[in-house]
Amino acid sequence: MVAIGLLVYLIALDVYIHILAIIALYVIYKFISKRYVKKLDITEKGLFITGCDTGIGHAAALRLRKAGFLVFAGCLKPDSDGAKVLKEKGGGRIRVIPLDVTNDESIKQALETTRQGLPESGLWGVINNAGIELAAEIEFASIDMMKRVADVNFYGMVRVTKAFLPLIRKARGRVVNVTSVKGRLPWPADTAYVSSKYAAEAFSDILRREMYRFGVKVVIIEPGRFSNITGILQGDRLNVAVDELNQSWERASEEVKEAYGRRCIDDLITALREDGKFGPTSLDPVTDAMLDALVNVNPKCRYLVHGTHQPIDKFCVLALLNQYLPEPLFDHFSRWILPLPPVNQQVLKPGS
CA dist 244 to 137, 192, 277, Å? 12, 12, 20
Distance in angstroms (rounded) separating the CA atoms of residues 158 and 169: 16
Query: Is residue 193 among the annotated active site residues?
Result: yes
Distance from C-alpha of 72 to C-alpha of 160, rounded to nearest angstrom: 13
Report the number of secondary-structure helices (H) and strands (E) in the chain.
14, 7
Nearest by Cα to 130 from 185, 76, 80: 76
Low-confidence ranges of the chain (pLDDT < 70): 1-2, 5, 8-9, 12-13, 15, 18, 21, 26-36, 276, 278, 309-311, 344-352
State the DSSP string of 286-328: HHHHHHHHHHBSS--SEEEE--TTTT--HHHHHHHHHHHS-HH
Q: What residues form DSSP beta bridges with 72?
A: 48, 95
Structural domains in the chain, CATH included, are 39-230+281-338 (3.40.50.720)
What is d(CA 343, CA 265) in angstroms, rounded to the nearest whole number? 12
Rounded distance, CA 195 to CA 30, Å? 32
Q: What is the pLDDT of residue 237?
A: 87
**pLDDT (tens digit per residue) in 75-109:** 999 999 999 999 999 999 999 999 999 999 999 99
Bridge-based pairing of strands 302-305 and 70-75 is unpaired
Cα–Cα distance between 292 and 298 in angstroms, integer? 9
Question: Whose CA is closest to 164, among 209, 213, 118?
Answer: 118
- At 13 the pLDDT is 66
Residue 99: how many other CB atoms lie within 10 Å: 29
Nearest-CA neighbor of 305 among 130, 198, 179, 174?
179
Residue 267 φ/ψ, nearest 5 degrees = -65, -35
List CB contacts of 346: < 8 A, sequence separation 6 or more: 352
Whole-number pLDDT of residue 299: 97
pLDDT tens-place string over residues 152-211 = 999 999 999 999 999 999 999 999 999 999 999 999 999 999 999 999 999 999 999 999
pTM over 0.85: yes
Residue type for 66, please?
K
* Catalytic residue from among 26, 155, 193, 260: 193
What confidence score (pLDDT) does residue 43 get? 80
Return the amino acid letter for 65.
Answer: R
Q: How far apart are CA 98 and CA 67, in angstroms?
A: 23
| pLDDT at res. 311 | 65
Cβ atoms of 234 and 127 within 8 Å: the answer is no
Could you tell me how far CA 200 lies from the centroid of its own chain? 9
